[in-house]
Chain A
């Protein structure tokens, strides 16, 4: 665990070692706020709720979160630093977890800057604070699932752009699977399974202000699965 923290510190610092981290945060705030306040026309709704903000979040995260994870393994592979990293006395799981934690912290920092939105809401009226807190917690779960997927995919390639595009595609599919079968008129078990797999359906519950343990279990499982696959993929270099 101590080693994971060492990796975490290095990776988190790396996000801010160049202007890219800051540019990312500013760009995220611009896009998400523009959607909420102008595209969804918050001011004409006459409701002090962040529901709209969180409804667009899975789609905004779709583009932003793969950008957070794309470099984490791909760059190490391209630069060759992965060789030094993996010949240090660390367990593969510690490295994976450290990288994941750093990406999570960066996402959390980004989301923290968006707290100006609920602050404005409180200035304008009295929104339901429970729903807002719940939605933020849900957003962190959703984002973490994206991060775990993106981190795993980054470990499959040494090209960051490829990592970004494939992560985006996989996450997009996992969102779509929750709505597409219903559009296509699928019924019964198949539709239910699809709906269960989807990252989106579980998040919809969250934006309604309900944090159900089933949704938490779902997100934790997705995260655990992809972190596990990641560890296995890093260990695969040593398979005989």
Chain B
């Protein structure tokens, strides 16, 4: 659905994004992840035809964002970063305006407004001025206007920023529901959000894509799985270090009664908990803890974005 090829955007001397390429298939929910200023917003602004790339190509459903912006815009529902709305309009008037501009035929406009009001749970505030709404409600109005024409593609720039935990959960739930039938690109720098919603993650840093894959792939790719073992026995460390399936065995702590706690990295990054268990049985070690832990997305993120 989305093809991005060698996209570069220069602001004067500085490179906001640098030769980015990616593809997104229909129906995918993709999280753009990166620290502030990484180029997430710039990428989204190019996809939504708000600005043009300095070079490279981006197309949505075969329509080029530079050559056929109207065709592209028709297919997109967009929520910009700070959720800018007309504060002097009430919610239903604003949604009716959005529907009209988005080309929803007049016979269906009322239905469309009612649909997004119920989807985004805005029933209580339809007659209120947007300027008088709380941040959470405004964000939902922003989402509602992005959904009013039932677009195939949703582009949401930090849809949860500035919301409280309950509101964040609501928005994430909404994104999950939308992801059932729509293609969604959303950006964030909160990793748990990506884990909770996205089929795939693009990690952007300094204007480049530094990693992409499913959240699981990314987590296992980074440093693999660490096995924690608390054990008592003779020559434990030596035996483990000599075993073929162990890449690294590191003592973390000496505990009482002669127990030691070790952190083990498997060879070729796989989960070696079972191998460790078998070895302990064979050697007659006393084991009080055996636990496998996957690297979190935080670890991956920190590793990739701190150079």
Q: Which residues of A contact B (CB under 8 A)?
A: 3, 6-7, 9-10, 13-14, 17-18, 79-84, 86-91, 237-240
Check B73 against A87 for contact (C-beta < 8 Å). Answer: yes
Contacts of A81 in B (CB 8 A): 84-86
> B86 to chain A: which residues have CB within 8 Å?
10, 14, 79, 81
Complex contact B50–A87 (CB within 8 A): yes
Contacting pair B87 A18 (CB below 8 A): no
Residues in A whose Cβ lies below 8 Å from that of B50: 83, 86-87, 237
**Which A residues lie within 8 Å of B28 (CB)?**
none
B137 interface residue, CB < 8 Å from A?
Answer: no
Are B74 and A239 interface neighbours, CB within 8 A? no
Task: Provide the residues of chain B in CB contact with A86, threshold 8 Å.
Answer: 49-50
Is B101's CB under 8 angstroms from A3's CB? yes
CB of A23, distance to nearest CB on chain B (Å): 15
User: Chain A contacts of B45 at CB under 8 A?
Assistant: 83
Q: Given the complex, which residues of B lie within 8 Å of A240, measured CB to CB? A: 52-55
CA A81 to CA B141, docked complex, whole Å: 13
Name 28 A/B residue pairs within 8 A (Cβ), A-sorted: A6-B100, A10-B97, A13-B89, A79-B87, A80-B80, A80-B84, A81-B85, A82-B84, A84-B85, A84-B145, A86-B50, A87-B48, A87-B49, A87-B50, A87-B73, A87-B76, A87-B80, A88-B98, A89-B74, A89-B102, A237-B52, A238-B49, A238-B51, A238-B52, A238-B66, A239-B52, A240-B52, A240-B53
In angstroms, Cα B80 to Cα A84, docked, is 7
Contacts of B84 in A (CB 8 A): 79-84
B25 within 8 A of A: no
Taking the closest CB of chain A, its distance from the CB of B6, in whole angstroms, is: 14
User: Which of chain B's residues 62-105 have a Cβ closer than 8 Å to chain A?
Assistant: 66, 70, 73-74, 76, 78, 80, 82, 84-89, 93, 97-98, 100-103
User: A88 touches which one: B51, B55, B73, B93 (CB < 8 A)?
Assistant: B73
A10 to B103, CA, bound (A): 15
Question: In the complex, what residue of chain B is closest to A14 when comparing beta carbons?
Answer: B88
